[in-house]
Amino acid sequence: MIITKISKKDLEMTSNMIREVIPLLNLSPEGVKFMTQQSDPKALLEDKNDCFILKDENNIYATATLKKNKVERVFTNINYQKKGFGKLIMQEIFNYAIQKGFDEICTNSVKSAVDFYKSLGFESIKEVNIDCILMVKKIK
């Protein structure tokens, strides 16, 4: 298993992996629409320089993107959650953010993932909308 930036050949499989998870998130219809757009292969391609995947030759296990200092599109494969893969890909994001010189990073977390981010040292700041909480982590 390796962590690498996404490449063209991974787009379809990563998009499908994300789209299997979205229905479990209990989001508003707007939230589902937004996440579905965000997981389109074209959207993944636009972010390809900042989008990481944990993969082997058969599977995409997890993905996370850092746009400026904002963590986006963090997903672990529906069949491989709670095995440490989300934490592993977030570690790559922390290293990448440090490399880029950021002092802190943020994310709009869906409510069901707040405890995941807390376990990684993020703090809740405020509710952004019906689906999301703004969370921040100092990395220096």
Ligand X SMILES: CC(C)(COP(=O)(O)OP(=O)(O)OC[C@H]1O[C@@H](n2cnc3c(N)ncnc32)[C@H](O)[C@@H]1OP(=O)(O)O)[C@@H](O)C(=O)NCCC(=O)NCCS
Q: According to CB under 6 A, which one of 8, 33, 68, 87 is a site residue for ligand X? A: 87
Should residue 27 be labelled a site residue for ligand X when binding is judged by CB under 6 A? no
Stretch that binds ligand X, among 5-13, 40-48, 91-99, 115-123 (CB under 6 A): 115-123
Q: According to CB under 6 A, which one of 27, 113, 133, 135 is a site residue for ligand X? A: 113
Residue nearest to ligand X (CB): 86
What distance in Å separates the CA atoms of residue 18 and residue 61, rounded to the nearest whole number?
10
Stretch that binds ligand X, among 1-9, 44-52, 76-84, 96-104 (CB under 6 A): 76-84
Binding site for ligand X (CB under 6 A): 21, 25, 62, 74-76, 81-87, 109-110, 112-113, 115-116, 119
